[in-house]
Structure 1
Amino acid sequence: MRFRPAIAIATVLTVTMLSACTGGAEPTPSRTVLDLDVTGTVGITLPAGEGSRYLEAGSAIETLLTTWGATVDLRYSGPDPADQADQITAMVDAGADLLIVTPVQADALAQPLAAAREAGVPVIAYDRLIRDTPDVDYYVGFDRFGIGVQVGWAALSGLGLGDLNGDPTGALPDEPYPLEVFAGDLAAPDFYYGYNGTVRQVLELSAEQGSTTFGSGQSAPDAVATTDARSAAARMTQLLQTVYTEGVSLRAVTTAGDDIAAAVIASLRDHGLSPGSDQWPVVVGVGATTEGLRAIESGEQYATILTDDRLVHEAAAYLAASVLLGEQLDSLNVKDYDNGARTVPALLVPGTIVTADNLQATIIDSGYASRSEIG
C-alpha cells in the first residue's frame, strides 16, 4: 500500500486546522476555533533568542488555552538548559497540571521531567522531541517524514511521472531521469525523518522502477547531507562541472529547504542555465519562504512544502486541552517517534505542496501571506 502522510485528527478537531491537504489539489481550509471548557494550569517553556517563531507560538498557544478557560504560565528560556530546567521545576512546584516544552537542548531535561512525572504532571514536547528520558508523554510537531515524502512526490510531479498526491501517471521515460538530492543537516535531530521520506520512500522506489536515477550516484545520508546554502552551492557547482556534461541533463533537484533551493538555483544560473529552458531542472524546496514563493512564480522553482506554524500552535493547544479533559485521541502516531528512552505518542501536522497552480489558494487565500509580502 502506498504511503500517505499523516493528516492528524482532522475531523476530531473542528478547528479544521489539520484538514490541510497533503498534496496540492485543494486549498488550505479556513480555521475555526473550538469552543471548549478547560480548567487547570498549563506551564509553557520555549526557547528565546531564536527569532520570532517561538514568541509567536507561545502567544498563540496561550491565547487558545486561556480562551478555553485554562490558566497559562508562559516562560521563555535562554540557551542554557539549566535555566530551562529551573523553569520546569518552578512551574511544577507552583502547581502546573501540564507542561508544554520546546527544549533548548534536547537531551538535557531528564532530571526536572522525572520530578514532573513524580508529581503527576504530563509533558508535551512541542516542535522538538525531548530525548533520552521516559518522562515525555506526547510530542506535537510537523510530520517531517510525510513532508519528506511530499518533496519526492513534487519532484515526480514536475517530471510528469506522478501527481501531487503521489499517484503515478503511468508515464515511463525512455531513459531514467537523472536527479540529485540535497537533504538537511546530518546533525539535525529530524534529519532522518525527511531523508527517509524523500529518498527511501519515494526516490529509491522510482529508481527501482526505472523512472529516475541518482545522476551522481550520491544518495547515502552522508553524501547528500547539506549543512548550509554555501555548501549546497559548492556541491551543485561541482556536480554540474563533473557529472552533467556532454549532453547529460539534470532533470530534478530535491532540497530540504527553500534556502538550499535558492543556492541550487543560483548555481544553475551561474552555469548558464535559464528557467523555462529544456535544460532547467525541476527544483523542490521546503518552507514556503517568501524567496521560495517568488522563485515558484518566476519559474525557477517548481514547488515548496508549506509548513504552516499556525496549525502546530493549534494542534499543541488542542492536545493540551484534551489531556486536561482526560480525552483520548485516536489519531496519534504511536510507533515512529523514539526519543532514545521510549516511543513517544505523536500528534503530527502535515505539510501542503505549493506550486504555481495552487499558490493563490494555499498561500494568499488561506491568509498565510499577502500578495504584497510575496511581491
Structure 2
Amino acid sequence: MIRRTVAAIAVGALAVSLSACGRQTEPSAAAGGATEKGTIGVAMPTKTSERWIKDGDYIKQQLEAAGYKVNLQYANDDIPTQVGQVNDMVTKNNKILVVASIDGTALKGALQEAKDAGIPVIAYDRLLRDTNAVDYYTTFDNLKVGKLQAESLLKGLEASGAPKPWNVELFAGSPDDNNATFFFNGAMEVLKPKINSGDLVIASGETDFKTVATLRWDAAVAKKRMENLLTKAYSTKDVNGVLSPYDGLSRGIIAALKGSGYGSGGKKLPVVTGQDAELESVKAILAGEQYSTVFKNTRDLAQATVKMIQEIDTKKTVTVNDTTSYNNGIKNVPTQLLEPVDVDKANVTDVLVKAKYYTADQLK
C-alpha cells in the first residue's frame, strides 16, 4: 500500500511538473483515455468525378468513426502529384495506405517504399499493377459490370422498336485503368455472339479495346470520338445504341448525338449505357436521354475497405472472397468483391433512394 501511494504521488508530481512547463501528455488506455490508432493514408485520383468525391468522403467518415486519423489526398488526375502524395504518406509513416490509382503501373516505386517500411497497401477499386507491394484489393465485380452494361444495351435495343440489325458503337475506359479491360471484356462476352450472328453491326468497324479506349475517362475525348464516328459511319444511317462504360463518357456521347440532331425532330436518341449512377446521369435516365447506369454503392465499398483496415491493424484474418481473378502481373491479389446493380428508368429511383445514395428530392 505504501509503495502504491508513493508511486501515485510521484506520478502526480510529474504531471504537475509537465503542466508547469507547458507540456501535456496524451491520455493512455491504462488511464482510461482513448488509444491512438494512427493515421491511414487515402490516395484518390481526382475530384473531377462525383463518384471519387463520395468515395473519399465515405472512407474518411468511417475511419474517423472507428478512431483513426485520415490523410486524404486527391491528385487531380496528375500522376506525378499522386506519386508525391503516396511518397509523403510513407515518409509520414501512415499506418496503412488505401490507393485508388490514376495509372495502375505508375506507383511501383512509391509502393515499394511502403513495403520496405512495413506499411500494408490496399488497392481501392483500381488494381495496382506490376508490383508485389500491394497486399489486398477491394472492388466490385468488374467483369459483371461489363456484362450488365451489355445486357442493358440489348434490353434497350429490344424495347426501342428499331428493326434488326442494330447499329451499335463501342466505347471503353482508360487503358491505364485495369478495370476498363474487365468492363470491356465482360461486355464483349455478351455482345460478340450478337455481332457474329449479325444482330448487331459495328458500322465504324472499331471493335478492339485499344481503338475504343478513352484515356483518363475523359468526357471531351468521348464526345469528340462520337462526333467523328457519326461523320465517318452514319451519314446515311442512324446509330441505335452505344456501349458506354461510365456516366461521364455517356454524357459526352449524348452531347455529340444531340449535336447531330438525335433527340429532336422525331429522331430518337440511341440506347446509351453508363456506370456509377452520377446524379446528372440519373436525371438524364429519368428524362429519357441516357438509358441505364450500373450502380456501385461506394458506401459499401468504403465499409468493406475500413473493415479490411481494422482486420489488418488487429492482425485478424482479412476478409476476401476472391484469390484468383485479379493478377496484377506479379501476383494474384487477394480481393473482396462487391456486387454491382444495373438500373434504368423503371427502377433507378427505387434502388438509389432505398440505398440512401440519393434522396427523392435530389432526383426531382
Normalization by structure 1: what TM-score? 0.73
Distance 1:145 1:222 in 2: 18
Letter in 2 for 1:239: L
The 2-side partners of 1:42 and 1:101 are apart by: 17
Distance 1:337-1:235 versus aligned 2 partners, 3 A rule: same
Q: 1:249 offset after TM fit, Å?
A: 2.9
Show the 5 A alignment for 1:156-167.
156-160=154-158
* Unaligned residue ranges in structure 2 (runs of 5+): 1-34, 48-52, 76-80
Q: Secondary structure at the match of 2:123?
A: strand
> Which amino acid in 1 is paired with 2:127?
L
- The residue aligned with 2:72 is 76
| Bigger-Rg structure (1/2) | 2
Match of 2:282 among 272, 293, 296: 293
Distance 1:80 1:353, change over 3 A: closer
Aligned pairs for 1:275-290 within 5 A = 279-290=268-279
Q: Structure 1 residue 309 and structure 2 residue 310: aligned?
A: no
Q: Is the 8 A contact 2:138 2:336 kept in 1?
A: yes
Amino acid across the alignment from 2:219: A
**Counterpart of 1:138?**
136
TM-score, L = length of structure 2 = 0.75
Aligned partners of 2:349 and 2:363 also within 8 Å: no
- The residue type paired with residue 283 of structure 1 is V
| 1:229 and 2:219 are equivalent in the alignment | yes
Q: Is contact 1:249-1:279 (8 Å) kept?
A: no
- Judged with a 3 Å threshold, the aligned counterparts in structure 2 of structure 1 residues 100 and 232 are, in CA distance, closer, same or farther, namely closer
Q: CA shift at 1:352, angstroms?
A: 1.5
Counterpart residue number, 1:166: none
Maintained 8 Å contact 1:60/1:313:
no
The structure with higher relative contact order (CA 8 Å, sep 6+) is 1
**Equivalent position SS for 2:249:** helix
CA offset digits 1:79-114 (Å, max 9, x no partner): 25345334235437xxx4x55444575323243233
Deviations 1:301-349 (A, max 9, x none): 11011122101111112223344362354x5222222223211111122
How has the CA–CA distance of structure 1 residues 130 and 266 changed in structure 2, closer, same or farther, with 3 Å as cutoff?
closer
Q: 1:276 Cα shift?
A: 10
Superposed CA offset, 1:173-232 (max 9, x none): 974322111212223343212221222x22113222443232221111122122422232
Q: Distance in 2 between matches of 1:213 and 1:368?
A: 37
Q: Which runs of 5+ in 1 are unaligned?
A: 1-38, 67-71, 162-170
Any conservation in 1 of the 2:171–2:244 contact (CA below 8 Å)? Answer: yes
Q: Which residue of 1 aligns with 2:336?
A: 347
Whole-angstrom distance in 2 between the partners of 1:136 and 1:327: 17
Alignment partners' CA distance in 1, 2:99 and 2:82: 14
Aligned residue for 1:244? 234
Q: Which amino acid in structure 2 is aligned with residue 273 of structure 1?
A: Y
The question of 1:45 aligning with 2:34 is answered no
Distance between the aligned counterparts of 1:241 and 1:352, measured in 2? 34
Cα distance in 2 for partners of 1:142, 1:182 equals 20
The 8 Å contact of residues 64 and 70 in structure 2, kept in 1 or not, is answered as: no
Q: Is 1:176 aligned with 2:174?
A: no
Offset at residue 251 of structure 1 (A): 1.6
Change (3 A) 1:281 1:315: same
Distance 1:278 1:272, change over 3 A: closer
CA distance 1:235–1:211, change in 2 (3 Å): same
CA gap 1:347/1:263 in 2 versus in 1, 3 angstroms: same
Match of 2:150 in 1: 152
- Please state which structure has a larger fraction of its residues in helix: 2
CA distance in 2, matches of 1:50, 1:230: 16
1:272–1:153 distance in 2 versus 1, CA, 3 Å: same
What SS does structure 2 have at the residue aligned with 1:372? coil
Where does residue 18 of structure 1 map in the other structure? none
Correspondent of 1:217 among 193, 200, 205: 205
Q: What is the Cα deviation at residue 43 of structure 1?
A: 4.4
Relative to structure 1, the CA distance from residue 114 to residue 353 in structure 2 (aligned partners, 3 Å threshold; closer, same or farther) is same
2:62 corresponding residue in structure 1:
61
Change (3 A) 1:41 1:100: farther
Aligned residue-pair number? 312
